[in-house]
Amino acid sequence: MTKQSFSKIMPILILTAAFWGYASSAQTEPLLLISWQAQNFSPSGFLGKNLPIISTPVVVGLEMIEKNQIVNLKNYEIRWYVDGEFKDSDKGLTTMRFLTGKPGGADEHFVRAEIMDYRGANLSKTINIPLVDPQIAIFSPYRGYQIPVLKPGINVLKALPYFFNIKQVGDLEINWEAGGIATQGETLNQDILNLTIPEAAPDNFVLPVKIGAINKNQPIERVVQTLNFTVIR
């Protein structure tokens, strides 16, 4: 190789080495991860993530990954903040529990974790945790239709409450209405309604079904939902 050719290739080699050096350095930067879990109610089989409402206990966890490995943080002081307010700190404190609730109707919390003096630097990570209202859905036995349907005869409807601060459905007071008329659920299972549609009911008749749920221990937790069912054969 001539000196002239080498002089042309040399800058490329230097830039390539610098790029890989930068990439290698970037890959070794610590990665902080915060996860959280709302400790409230959702129906069995629910595959989504529970979302907190007001007064929901939330457990937050911290992990750090470096060089593709989880770092043991037991010897490092970890500080926790919620909405900028200090909550707790200790060596190896990788989990923190707090109770949701913000005045003025704010709809999220900001949680920050700080790892103090990790190799001479303080590392931090902040996430937001959304707050929602409790919800309820009505499960119909007839699936595969584009609209909610009922059929002549007995129709078993089931209430599916989400995100209440309860342990079981029995902690709720559940009330049903069909066509504006109060209707009782089962004696032992208020979340189940056996709704009878007369054989003489016309096709495409629309029947509104309303359900209300109240937390017996926290009456402020309540929701009302109405679903319009269409009678078909």
pLDDT in tens, 41-57: 999 999 999 999 999 99
> Is 4 a domain residue?
no
Do 178 and 105 sit in the same domain of this protein?
no
- Residue 81, C-beta contacts closer than 8 angstroms, at least 6 positions apart: 87, 111, 112, 113, 114
pLDDT at 104: 63
- In this structure, what token pair is assigned to residue 162? 């989400």
Do 97 and 161 sit in the same domain of this protein?
no
pLDDT at 48: 95
pLDDT at 185: 83
Do 174 and 217 sit in the same domain of this protein?
yes
Q: How many CB atoms lie within 10 A of CB 50?
A: 18
Task: Determine the Cα–Cα distance for residues 182 and 10; give it in Å rounded to an integer.
Answer: 85
Which CATH number belongs to the domain containing residue 110 in this structure? Answer: 2.60.40.10
> Taking a C-beta distance cutoff of 8 angstroms, is the pair 89, 80 a contact?
yes
> Taking a C-beta distance cutoff of 8 angstroms, is the pair 56, 165 a contact?
yes
Do 123 and 41 sit in the same domain of this protein?
yes
Strands (E), 106-217: 108-118, 121-130, 135-139, 149-150, 153-162, 172-178, 181-183, 192-197, 206-215
Do 118 and 20 sit in the same domain of this protein?
yes
Give the residue numbers spanning the domain of 144.
135-231
Task: Determine the Cα–Cα distance for residues 120 and 211; give it in Å rounded to an integer.
Answer: 58
Q: What is the pTM of this model?
A: 0.82
**Residue 19: its H or E element:** helix 3-27
Do 143 and 193 sit in the same domain of this protein?
yes
Tell me which of 113, 130, 147 is where a domain ends. Answer: 130
Enumerate the β-bridge partners of residue 111: 82, 127
Q: Are strands 149-150 and 222-231 parallel, antiparallel or unpaired?
A: parallel
Q: Structurally, how many domains does the chain consist of? A: 2
Q: How many CB atoms lie within 10 A of CB 141?
A: 12
Do 113 and 65 sit in the same domain of this protein?
yes
Tell me which of 71, 105, 130 is where a domain ends. Answer: 130
> Is 1 a domain residue?
no
> Is 113 a domain residue?
yes
Q: How far is CA 11 from CA 1, 3, 6, 21, 23, in A?
A: 15, 13, 9, 15, 18
> Is 101 a domain residue?
yes
Tell me which of 100, 115, 130 is where a domain ends. Answer: 130
pLDDT at 158: 96
pLDDT at 111: 98
Do 122 and 56 sit in the same domain of this protein?
yes
Do 21 and 124 sit in the same domain of this protein?
yes
- Which is nearest to 180 in space by CA: 118, 226, 230? 226
pLDDT tens by residue, the chain, 233 residues: 444 443 444 444 344 444 444 444 444 689 999 999 999 999 999 999 999 999 999 999 999 999 999 999 999 999 999 999 999 999 999 999 999 987 666 799 999 999 999 999 999 999 999 999 999 999 988 888 899 999 999 999 999 999 999 999 999 999 999 999 998 888 789 999 999 999 999 999 999 999 999 999 999 999 999 999 999 98
> Is 194 a domain residue?
yes
